[in-house]
Structure 1
Amino acid sequence: MQAVILAAGLGSRLGNLKGDKPKAFLQPKGLTQSLIERSIGILVSFGIVDIVIGTGYKSEYFENLKISGAHLSTCKNPLFDSSGSSQTLQTLKDKIHEDFLLLESDLLYEKRAIQELLDDCRRDLILGSGRSDSGDEVYLEINQNQRLNALSKDKTKLKSIDAELVGISKISYESFLHFDFHSKDYEELLIGFEVLKIEDLVWCEIDCKEHLERAEKSIIPKLLNDKKGKK
């Protein structure tokens, strides 16, 4: 299995907090690695070493990224500043040749997220979580067959709130070949996929100052405590 990381965004909501690098290279207090280095390290620990990164803003940082055990390749979305994540994923079509995990680049998450996706026999699967109170949630409406009906940041647009989108999915190669990339956001391509919900998953995205503060105060201590508890 491959892994695909979407990392083309400007990260403008983080402002100067990310310095002159893409937000994936942000290293919150308490971590010894940047977000993307940590994420790739987790993937490699599960034997996923063929990793494709969809770049855009400051793409040279990803092109120079080297992580032990990982075979990294990159492809730049030339329209990254005017298009969406769906366009970035489409840009990678010649580099994807089998089932893959799809991840956003600004995530912090426990290894269990990857483990449970890999352990599940379903080939097309969206990872969902319970309530996070992050302030920027993408809510999922799931039908009785555990498939995604709709998603939105606006609760009023959904008939029910059944989970939150984590930003990690498992996608079969066949489904990828049939994607209609007219949608701006890649999430819209996943409508109809089944959802694996981990109610108590420890995770967050870091897309703004408030997210970073929450990660450093609440999420990272939980991740570190969990790691110590498993030694």
Structure 2
Amino acid sequence: MSGAIKTAVILAAGLGSRLKDRTKEKPKAFLEIDGKTLIHRSIENLLNQGITRIIIGTGYLNEFFDNLKNEFPQIETHRNDDYAATGSMYTLYNLKSLINEDFLLLEGDLLYEKAALTHLITDTHQDIVLASGKTNSNDEVYIEANEQSHLTNMSKKPSELNHISGELVGISKISLSTFNLMCDYAMKLYDKGDRSFHYEDDFVGISKTKDIFIKKVEGLAWCEIDDENHLNRALEMVYPLIQQRDQ
């Protein structure tokens, strides 16, 4: 990996059905915390880190994201027309023609402190998945890493792992060569008719032949907002921490 990271990709195609009425008329990335949407917070964090190009993989209510281009000339959008029947990797795969360099990959429904990006950008490893300590969020994706802190497995079920090394945050750094490997791996599954898997499943698939570093940051202030409990946790616990740290 050479030079500074200038591109970020945000995956924001999902329906957000677990948030019920809150996402009937807007995508979950447009949920507001203290008067500012999740997606605006993320975009501003990225721009402040020197990112100059932001590609958003859209689907549900894509026009909300398309309209962001009027605010931020750095943004490009591409719609996954099959978002309701496919996993997040399909959204990422469909950005293949737009991605031509190393990039940061983020999920669109995250609230996180600025340092989350710094941890990845300043680390010299080519490919990094950011992990946190225990969150008790009730929707964890658990990570298993080996003694070299390289990814070996991920699952929502702890029983499927030999041990738990951390929890998936939803922010990663990916080299172009590794992204191409991810697309090759995905294509093999698509050829078999499987389009439902997510980008983290693809990470595990290529980890047999490609080292993906797990960067664990204890005490990181972050959360994913997938349901009402997550939103309450964001408002009561995570956002106050972010306010303190990001001043």
Within the candidate set 197, 203, 209, 2:222 is matched to 203
3-state SS, counterpart of residue 64 of structure 1: helix
The residue aligned with 2:150 is 147
Do structure 1's residue 176 and structure 2's residue 179 form an aligned pair?
Answer: yes
The residue aligned with 1:167 is 170
> What percent identity do the matched residue pairs reach?
46
Unmatched segments (≥5 aa) in structure 2: 1-5, 190-194
Relative to its length, the structure with more helix (as a share) is 2
Shift of 1:60: 0.8
Q: Where do residues 94-113 of structure 1 align in structure 2 (5 Å cutoff)?
A: 94-113=97-116
CA distance in 1, matches of 2:72, 2:117: 17
CA distance in 2, matches of 1:221, 1:19: 27
CA distance in 1, matches of 2:244, 2:119: 20
Shift of 1:170: 0.2
Within the candidate set 65, 68, 80, 1:65 is matched to 68
CA distance in 2, matches of 1:67, 1:32: 20
Structure-2 change in CA distance of 1:125 and 1:99 (3 Å): same
The residue aligned with 2:3 is none
Within the candidate set 7, 11, 16, 1:2 is matched to 7
Do structure 1's residue 18 and structure 2's residue 23 form an aligned pair?
Answer: yes
3-state SS, counterpart of residue 161 of structure 1: coil
Shift of 1:189: 1.9
Counterpart of 1:34 in structure 2: which amino acid? T
TM-score (norm 1): 0.94
TM-score (norm 2): 0.88
153-162 vs 12-21, which deviates more?
12-21
Structure-2 change in CA distance of 1:85 and 1:157 (3 Å): same
Unmatched segments (≥5 aa) in structure 1: none
Pairs aligned (count): 226
3-state SS, counterpart of residue 68 of structure 2: coil
Do structure 1's residue 74 and structure 2's residue 77 form an aligned pair?
Answer: yes
3-state SS, counterpart of residue 179 of structure 2: helix
Shift of 1:32: 3.1
| Contact in 1 for aligned 2:114/2:246 (Cα 8 Å) | no
CA distance in 1, matches of 2:164, 2:57: 30
